[in-house]
Amino acid sequence: MFQAFRPATRAVAAAALLSSFAVLPALAQTSPAAAPAAAPSASATAAAASAPAKEAKHSAAVESHITMLKKKLGITSDQEATWDTFAAVMRDNGEAIEAAVQQREATKDLDALHDLQSYANVAQVHADGAKKLAAAFEPVYAALTPAQKKNADTMFEHVRTGKMDGAKKKM
Protein backbone atom coordinates (compact mmCIF):
# COMPACT_ATOMS: atom_id res chain seq x y z
CA MET A 1 0.00 0.00 0.00
CA PHE A 2 2.71 2.51 0.94
CA GLN A 3 4.97 1.65 -2.01
CA ALA A 4 3.03 4.00 -4.29
CA PHE A 5 3.91 6.98 -2.07
CA ARG A 6 7.10 9.03 -2.15
CA PRO A 7 9.64 8.27 0.61
CA ALA A 8 8.76 11.54 2.39
CA THR A 9 5.07 10.65 2.42
CA ARG A 10 5.86 7.15 3.67
CA ALA A 11 8.03 8.58 6.42
CA VAL A 12 5.26 10.95 7.55
CA ALA A 13 2.76 8.11 7.64
CA ALA A 14 5.27 5.91 9.40
CA ALA A 15 5.98 8.58 12.01
CA ALA A 16 2.28 8.89 12.71
CA LEU A 17 1.89 5.17 13.12
CA LEU A 18 5.13 4.72 15.04
CA SER A 19 4.14 7.37 17.53
CA SER A 20 0.91 5.56 18.18
CA PHE A 21 2.76 2.45 19.38
CA ALA A 22 3.13 4.10 22.76
CA VAL A 23 -0.66 3.99 23.15
CA LEU A 24 -1.44 0.66 21.50
CA PRO A 25 -0.84 -1.38 24.67
CA ALA A 26 -3.42 0.77 26.43
CA LEU A 27 -5.90 0.17 23.63
CA ALA A 28 -5.22 -3.54 23.61
CA GLN A 29 -6.00 -3.75 27.31
CA THR A 30 -9.21 -1.76 26.97
CA SER A 31 -12.18 -3.74 28.13
CA PRO A 32 -15.49 -3.49 26.29
CA ALA A 33 -17.15 -0.16 26.96
CA ALA A 34 -20.30 0.17 28.92
CA ALA A 35 -22.75 2.89 29.90
CA PRO A 36 -22.37 4.63 33.25
CA ALA A 37 -24.31 2.97 36.02
CA ALA A 38 -26.67 4.93 38.24
CA ALA A 39 -24.27 4.67 41.16
CA PRO A 40 -20.53 4.06 40.78
CA SER A 41 -19.50 0.54 41.60
CA ALA A 42 -16.48 -0.34 43.68
CA SER A 43 -14.60 -1.33 40.53
CA ALA A 44 -15.49 1.97 38.85
CA THR A 45 -14.27 3.87 41.88
CA ALA A 46 -11.03 1.88 41.87
CA ALA A 47 -10.60 2.50 38.14
CA ALA A 48 -11.11 6.23 38.64
CA ALA A 49 -8.55 6.22 41.44
CA SER A 50 -6.01 4.47 39.22
CA ALA A 51 -6.59 6.84 36.26
CA PRO A 52 -3.88 9.32 37.35
CA ALA A 53 -1.40 6.46 37.68
CA LYS A 54 -2.28 5.19 34.19
CA GLU A 55 -2.02 8.70 32.80
CA ALA A 56 1.41 9.20 34.38
CA LYS A 57 2.61 5.85 33.03
CA HIS A 58 1.28 6.70 29.58
CA SER A 59 2.91 10.16 29.63
CA ALA A 60 6.22 8.58 30.61
CA ALA A 61 5.92 6.11 27.71
CA VAL A 62 5.25 8.96 25.26
CA GLU A 63 8.26 10.93 26.59
CA SER A 64 10.44 7.86 26.30
CA HIS A 65 9.28 7.34 22.73
CA ILE A 66 9.99 11.00 21.83
CA THR A 67 13.48 10.73 23.32
CA MET A 68 14.19 7.49 21.47
CA LEU A 69 13.02 8.89 18.12
CA LYS A 70 15.04 12.07 18.57
CA LYS A 71 18.17 10.10 19.37
CA LYS A 72 17.74 7.59 16.53
CA LEU A 73 17.02 10.33 14.02
CA GLY A 74 20.04 12.31 15.24
CA ILE A 75 18.14 15.59 15.57
CA THR A 76 20.61 18.50 15.66
CA SER A 77 20.30 21.85 17.43
CA ASP A 78 19.42 23.46 14.08
CA GLN A 79 16.48 21.03 13.77
CA GLU A 80 15.22 21.54 17.34
CA ALA A 81 12.47 24.05 16.49
CA THR A 82 10.66 21.73 14.07
CA TRP A 83 11.33 18.77 16.33
CA ASP A 84 9.86 20.53 19.37
CA THR A 85 6.64 21.23 17.46
CA PHE A 86 6.46 17.59 16.40
CA ALA A 87 7.11 16.40 19.96
CA ALA A 88 4.38 18.70 21.30
CA VAL A 89 1.90 17.15 18.85
CA MET A 90 2.98 13.68 20.02
CA ARG A 91 2.33 14.73 23.63
CA ASP A 92 -1.06 16.24 22.76
CA ASN A 93 -2.01 13.10 20.84
CA GLY A 94 -0.96 10.95 23.77
CA GLU A 95 -3.15 12.95 26.13
CA ALA A 96 -6.11 12.85 23.73
CA ILE A 97 -5.93 9.10 23.17
CA GLU A 98 -5.45 8.45 26.88
CA ALA A 99 -8.56 10.53 27.66
CA ALA A 100 -10.58 8.67 25.01
CA VAL A 101 -9.44 5.29 26.33
CA GLN A 102 -10.20 6.28 29.93
CA GLN A 103 -13.67 7.46 28.91
CA ARG A 104 -14.26 4.12 27.18
CA GLU A 105 -13.01 2.16 30.18
CA ALA A 106 -15.15 4.18 32.58
CA THR A 107 -18.43 3.24 30.93
CA LYS A 108 -20.33 0.09 31.84
CA ASP A 109 -23.20 -2.01 30.50
CA LEU A 110 -23.35 -0.71 26.93
CA ASP A 111 -25.25 -2.60 24.30
CA ALA A 112 -23.39 -3.73 21.17
CA LEU A 113 -24.25 -0.59 19.20
CA HIS A 114 -23.01 1.80 21.87
CA ASP A 115 -19.94 -0.32 22.50
CA LEU A 116 -19.05 -0.05 18.82
CA GLN A 117 -19.68 3.71 18.89
CA SER A 118 -17.39 4.01 21.89
CA TYR A 119 -14.67 2.11 20.05
CA ALA A 120 -15.22 4.30 16.98
CA ASN A 121 -14.63 7.38 19.13
CA VAL A 122 -11.25 6.05 20.26
CA ALA A 123 -10.37 5.17 16.66
CA GLN A 124 -11.39 8.65 15.48
CA VAL A 125 -9.24 10.33 18.13
CA HIS A 126 -6.35 8.15 16.96
CA ALA A 127 -6.97 8.98 13.27
CA ASP A 128 -7.24 12.72 13.98
CA GLY A 129 -4.00 12.54 15.94
CA ALA A 130 -2.24 10.72 13.10
CA LYS A 131 -3.24 13.49 10.68
CA LYS A 132 -1.90 16.16 13.04
CA LEU A 133 1.28 14.20 13.58
CA ALA A 134 1.86 13.72 9.86
CA ALA A 135 1.50 17.48 9.31
CA ALA A 136 3.92 18.20 12.17
CA PHE A 137 6.45 15.66 10.87
CA GLU A 138 6.60 17.12 7.38
CA PRO A 139 8.84 20.10 8.34
CA VAL A 140 10.97 17.80 10.50
CA TYR A 141 11.52 15.47 7.56
CA ALA A 142 12.22 18.42 5.24
CA ALA A 143 14.92 19.67 7.64
CA LEU A 144 16.68 16.30 7.86
CA THR A 145 19.94 15.71 6.04
CA PRO A 146 19.94 13.06 3.30
CA ALA A 147 21.58 10.60 5.72
CA GLN A 148 18.96 11.33 8.39
CA LYS A 149 16.16 10.91 5.85
CA LYS A 150 17.56 7.54 4.82
CA ASN A 151 17.71 6.58 8.50
CA ALA A 152 14.11 7.73 9.01
CA ASP A 153 12.97 5.81 5.95
CA THR A 154 14.69 2.69 7.28
CA MET A 155 13.26 3.17 10.78
CA PHE A 156 9.74 3.46 9.47
CA GLU A 157 10.06 0.75 6.85
CA HIS A 158 8.08 -1.65 9.02
CA VAL A 159 4.92 0.31 8.21
CA ARG A 160 5.25 -0.67 4.58
CA THR A 161 6.64 -4.17 5.06
CA GLY A 162 4.82 -5.16 8.24
CA LYS A 163 8.10 -6.33 9.77
CA MET A 164 8.63 -4.78 13.18
CA ASP A 165 12.27 -5.85 13.29
CA GLY A 166 13.19 -4.46 9.85
CA ALA A 167 14.59 -1.22 11.25
CA LYS A 168 16.65 -3.00 13.88
CA LYS A 169 18.39 -5.19 11.34
CA LYS A 170 19.32 -2.30 9.06
CA MET A 171 20.39 0.23 11.67
pLDDT for 16-28, tens place per residue?
A: 444 444 444 343 3
What is the number of domains present in the chain?
1
Is 56 among the domain residues?
Answer: yes
Q: Has residue 166 been placed in a domain? A: no
Residue 139 lies in a domain: yes
Q: What pTM did the predictor assign? A: 0.66
- Mean local confidence (pLDDT), 26-55: 50
Q: Which residues does 159 contact at the CB level (< 8 Å), separation at least 6?
A: 2, 10, 13, 14, 17, 18
Which residue range(s) make up the domain with 105?
A: 2-29+50-160
Residue 167 lies in a domain: no
- Identify the band that residue 90 occupies on the pLDDT scale cut at 50, 70 and 90: very high
The answer as to whether 131 is a domain residue is: yes
Whole-number Cα distances in Å, 149 to 45, 121, 138, 164: 48, 34, 12, 19
Assigned domain for 45 exists: no
Residue 38 lies in a domain: no
> C-alpha dihedral over 145, 146, 151, 154, to 10 degrees?
140
Q: Kindly tell me if the per-residue pLDDT of 3 is higher than 80.
A: no
- Whether residue 105 is contained in a domain is answered as yes
pLDDT surpasses 70 at 161: yes
pLDDT, mean of residues 58-84: 94
pLDDT at 86 over 50: yes
